[in-house]
Chain A
Amino acid sequence: MHPTVRKLFPYIALTGLFSALAWAVSFGTLPSADFSFHNGDEVKTVDPALAYGQPEHRVMTAMFEGLYREWPIGYELDEQGNVVSTPEPDENGNYPMGSAPGLAESYELSDDGRIYTFHLRPGVKWSDGSPITAHDFVWSWRRTLHPETAATYGYQLWYLVGAKQYTEGRVEVGDLVEIELANRLRADQPFPRGDIRRAKLIGIARPPQVSPPTNASDEVKEELQATWRSNWVYVVDHNAVPGASESASGKVGAYCKGTADTNWKQYETEWVDDRRPESLPDTTVKCQQILLDFESSVGVTAPDDATLVVTLKNRTPFFIDLTAFYALYPVNRACVEKYGTPNWTQPQNIVTNGAYNLEFRRVRDRMRLVKNPQYWDADRVKLEIVDAMAVKSVTTALNMYLTGQLDWVTDVPASVIPELIARPEKDFIPTPVLIIYFYRLNTTRPPLDDVHVRRALNLAMDKQLICEKVTQAGQIPARSVVPPGLPGYKSPLCGEFDVEAARAELAKSKYANRPGGIPKIEITYNTNDTHRAIAEVIQQMWKNNLSIDVELKNLEWNSYLDAQHTMQFSVCRAGWVPDYPDANTFIDMWVTGGENNETGWSNARYDALVKQAAEEPDSELRLRHMEEAEAILMDELPIVPIYYYTGKNIVSPRVKGFFHNALDQYPIQLMYFEE
């Protein structure tokens, strides 16, 4: 090495260091926000079709609006945004929340309760100034339901006629179908779509199946099956759909998603009414998707720009509440088609229709929301700039609140709850919400396959003590799976804490006199201090009161979910947040084989009652069926309810327009600072 280089080296290193330091202190500056709140974990996406979770919910309702919107019942503002009337809270401090007209001004409901006709508010606009029409809803719901969108909450639209079949991509002979040709602008983007041909499916020709080698793994078998399915040839009649675009290749067409053989006509074919058309095309046309014809088969249409007609499969009393849920919000077609998913959600591209627009976003830092002047109700939105801060640690969020960096904190550290409640500012008021904390019991594993053991476990649990001394935020000990507070519904209750009764119940079990005693139980929970503390306390209660050995197993979130979904647990902590404020969301999950049952429990009478309730037109009777079903659940106890959550919001006393409520939803557009 040359000596001068060596001599210069320290200076080079120092220069490097100083320039690095200079770079490190150069911050871009953001003007400060009017209002900042703690939004918990990072928002995964702001695409209403793809989002799920609480943090997403908070920003989504600020940025978008559906036909209806969540609103405190009885809260009225005049044109200038002055408060005209405020509802009274109930004894818990909760305000009644309901659905108020949003983009829709009103609706009519058919006599059978299945057809809703919504009338859109005149003059509603997207944030780019273009008008919002009923067609935007049709297009957005179509996008949400499209299989390639893979919308998480897509099933919330499955109440619509034909919607489920459209998402599943199932088509049957005789159905009207829409064929998307393989000429998309971008192959990986389902929207904008390729050319669409509407037709009637008159036959499906299936190539002979290749039988997999006997020792093939499930994966290989599945792959073979998938390939085989993609090679089906769909024969359609182009002329069967009135007003459909004229066909490119005559009356009868043949389409295939994969690669069809030239001799496809020899395939075994299922024909509609067993009628084979006289002439078949020799070659098949490659297509991207064959789906149920959306326009004619799925229950949403727009007769004109201001009217939206929705047809449901069954009477669904909570459908209006669903339209206030973000999965049913419309998105701007031009924006989505121009930028594609997920690029359209970037701050510089996004077009919204709610009270706020997204101006700036930094992962794990903040989303800056700025008031949307095009919003129809903009005059009554008071906060101009709002920051949604992604702060994961609740202790940090509390620190930031106490130093004035945040105005609203959505969760607090469990250890300081008594001190927070006692604060003179009275800024922490925990109120009950419709969320339940419970333990799933795996009824396929000993000793939990015995109902007496399950009952004993419930009876030996002092839930009052857990609420008072462990969770401490005024949670209510639970004796039913449906939380109280749903109008008209009265939950049947399971047994209360009683050690003697628990021991008696355990003595009745088949394990009581079995050599070796009662098999060990393991409580699985996800990493969280409160879950751990509760599990430790319950471990002690079961050990002391029933002499049952309990092990604790802590899993990080995804392993925990996996263990739960695959039922690799004996007792597992769980929570349930309702999708809509109706008892059904807590009840229908426990039917035999339900996706979220995950206990292995099955009861024919229960299933029948749930089905009966779903079909019952009378809303009173419907509730009675559900109550009867819940009574069975609370007797057999495949789950042990522990407590109902409380909302743990700290709100600065300066903030007005914050309404505690059982849905745990707080629209930001209502909030303002006291003058």
Chain B
Amino acid sequence: MGGLGGFLLRRACWIVITLWIVYTASFILMRSVPGGPFDSERKLPAEIQKNIEARYKLDQPLINQYFNHLGNILFAGDFGPSFRLTDFTVNEVIKQGFPVSASMGIFAITFAFVLGTLSGIVSAIRRHTAWDVSFMTAATLGIAVPNFVLASLAIVLFVFTIPLFPAAGWGSLRQIILPALCLGAPYAGYIARLTRTGMLEVLGRDYIRTAYAKGLSERRVVTRHALRGALLPVVSYLGPATAGILTGSLVLEQIFALPGLGSHFVEAALQRDYPLALGMVMVYTCLLLFMNTLVDLSYVMLDPRVKIETQ
């Protein structure tokens, strides 16, 4: 188990360094963009503008702001107040938005995983049949149709033509289904294709032939022997995909009026809400790095050939 500990320790160091670089890069990028967080259509008198900047310490030299903010994050875990949503701190905004994005994301990823792997397996086993062709066409369509088109069509179909779901909003299970399906669709498509490819490769291996030769049923061969190997590429895809899904989707959150994180992601950037934007970047990066570590660990679990030391 020493290998595991060492691996995790090294990984933790690397994560810290990455986070720091990402933070610094984002900080520099954000500050080089024209426009400030307190611009409004009505230009404020210079004195008031100055006072507002002083209030948020934006009048200090950039380097001081950088170290102050970084220090607050490191020692207090505090990203500071949001510049635009003035009543909230960044931590509060994230705390409110994350559960929404996360529950939608969990639904979406479950749906994508179940549907994707099932159709992928069926396609691989029944290769070149009508099943295969229609599943793969659907999968590619899922990838090829932009999700704002998918969502708009879904609303017309399942809200107005066949009134199954409410139009938008957050708070009940019925409100989550439609956006989760739209969010999961392209991922389901990718997973289906990855599973099919992986499955085809595995099915050609000797040990599968051996399993068949032993007289095992097809179902047993597939579930017991082939699946493990075939899912490896899916697992490595799931890591970054989950990080992306959990931080929400701007398009779907706008169309379905959901209070998730995705809108903050883009809007904080567009509105120059520096602390919120940095907070969002950090959340995304942390999630991504965490998921990638998890993926590497599950590789070890799934594939006996992978040893932790080689990481």
Contacts and interface: CB of A to CB of B under 8 A. Distances in A.
B170 A365 contact: yes
Given A25-B103, A154-B48, A399 B159 contact: yes
A29 B47 contact: no
B252 to A, nearest CB: 11
A405 interface: yes
A561 B39 contact: yes
A152 B40 contact: yes
B120 interface: no
A45 B86 contact: yes
Interface string B50-75: 01101100010100000000000000
A9 B298 contact: yes
B84 interface: yes
Interface residues of B, number: 69
B141 interface: no
Contact of B167 (A17, A151, A155, A400): A400
A148 B271 contact: no
Given A21-B107, A399-B155, A27 B48 contact: no
Given A5-B301, A399-B168, A558 B44 contact: no
Interface in B154-181: 155, 159-160, 163, 166-173, 176
Q: Which of A53, A364, A562 has the most CB of B within 10 A?
A: A364
A365 B96 CA distance: 10
Contacts of A559: 33-35
A396 B39 contact: no
A43 B168 CA distance: 19
B257 A400 contact: yes
Interface string A1-33: 100011001000100010011011101011000
A2 to B, nearest CB: 9
B44 A152 contact: yes
B186 interface: no
A565 B88 CA distance: 28
A6 B301 contact: yes
B195 interface: no
B96 A362 contact: yes
B55 A150 contact: yes
Interface string A555-575: 011110111010000000011
A151 B86 CA distance: 12
A47 interface: yes
B169 A405 contact: yes
B22 to A, nearest CB: 23
A168 interface: yes
B48 A596 contact: no
A610 interface: no
Interface in A166-225: 167-169, 219, 223
A561 B159 CA distance: 38
B41 A575 contact: yes
Interface string A333-347: 000000000100110
B272 interface: yes
Given A155-B48, A396-B257, A403-B167, A27 B173 contact: yes
Given A17-B110, A27-B172, A399-B159, A9 B257 contact: no
A19 B65 CA distance: 41
B250 to A, nearest CB: 10
A396 B256 contact: yes
Given A24-B102, A399-B167, A405-B167, A565 B263 contact: no
Nearest to B48: A154
A561 B61 CA distance: 23
A562 B34 contact: yes
B259 A155 contact: no
B248 to A, nearest CB: 11
A183 B155 CA distance: 59
A219 to B, nearest CB: 7
Nearest to B105: A24
Interface string A240-282: 0000000000000000000000000000000000000000000
Contact of A45 (B45, B87, B96, B253): B87
Nearest to A391: B257
Nearest to A53: B40
Interface string A574-601: 1100000000000000000001101000
A668 to B, nearest CB: 20
A44 B85 contact: yes
Given A44-B84, A148-B54, A152-B48, A400 B259 contact: no
B257 A30 contact: no
Contacts of A149: 51, 55
Given A52-B40, A342-B88, A363 B93 contact: yes
B216 interface: no
Interface in A365-408: 365, 389-393, 395-397, 399-400, 402-403, 405
B107 A565 contact: no
Interface in A262-312: none
A436 interface: no
B45 A561 contact: no
B265 to A, nearest CB: 12
A148 B55 CA distance: 6
A24 B61 CA distance: 44
A462 interface: no
B257 A23 contact: no
A100 interface: no
B81 A342 contact: yes
A29 B96 CA distance: 15
A389 B168 CA distance: 11
Contact of B97 (A154, A363, A558): A363
Nearest to A32: B171
A350 to B, nearest CB: 10
A191 to B, nearest CB: 13
A226 B167 CA distance: 55
A405 B170 CA distance: 11
B43 interface: yes
B301 A1 contact: yes
Contact of B301 (A9, A44, A575): A9
Contacts of B6: none
Given A363-B259, A396-B167, A342 B301 contact: no
B91 interface: no
Nearest to B52: A150
Nearest to B55: A150
Contacts of B263: 364, 392
Given A24-B106, A44-B86, A396 B35 contact: no
B255 interface: yes
Given A29-B171, A389-B257, A562 B86 contact: no
A399 B254 CA distance: 13
Given A392-B254, A400-B169, A405-B167, A596 B51 contact: no
B51 A393 contact: no
B270 interface: yes
Contacts of B48: 150-152, 154-155, 167
Given A46-B87, A557-B271, A30 B44 contact: no
A558 B272 contact: yes
B146 interface: no
Interface of B: 33-37, 39-48, 51-52, 54-55, 59, 61, 81, 84-88, 92-93, 96-97, 102-104, 106-107, 110, 155, 159-160, 163, 166-173, 176, 253-260, 263-264, 270-272, 298, 300-302, 304, 308
22 contacts: A24-B103, A24-B106, A27-B172, A29-B171, A150-B51, A150-B52, A167-B51, A223-B61, A226-B59, A363-B85, A365-B257, A389-B257, A396-B257, A400-B169, A400-B257, A402-B167, A556-B270, A557-B270, A558-B271, A559-B34, A563-B34, A595-B43
Given A29-B171, A364-B259, A399-B160, 15 more contacts: A20-B106, A21-B107, A21-B110, A45-B85, A147-B51, A149-B51, A155-B45, A361-B87, A362-B259, A363-B97, A364-B263, A390-B257, A403-B166, A558-B34, A558-B35
> Lowest 9 A-B CB distances belong to which pairs?
A558-B35, A24-B103, A365-B259, A562-B35, A150-B51, A399-B167, A45-B86, A150-B52, A9-B301
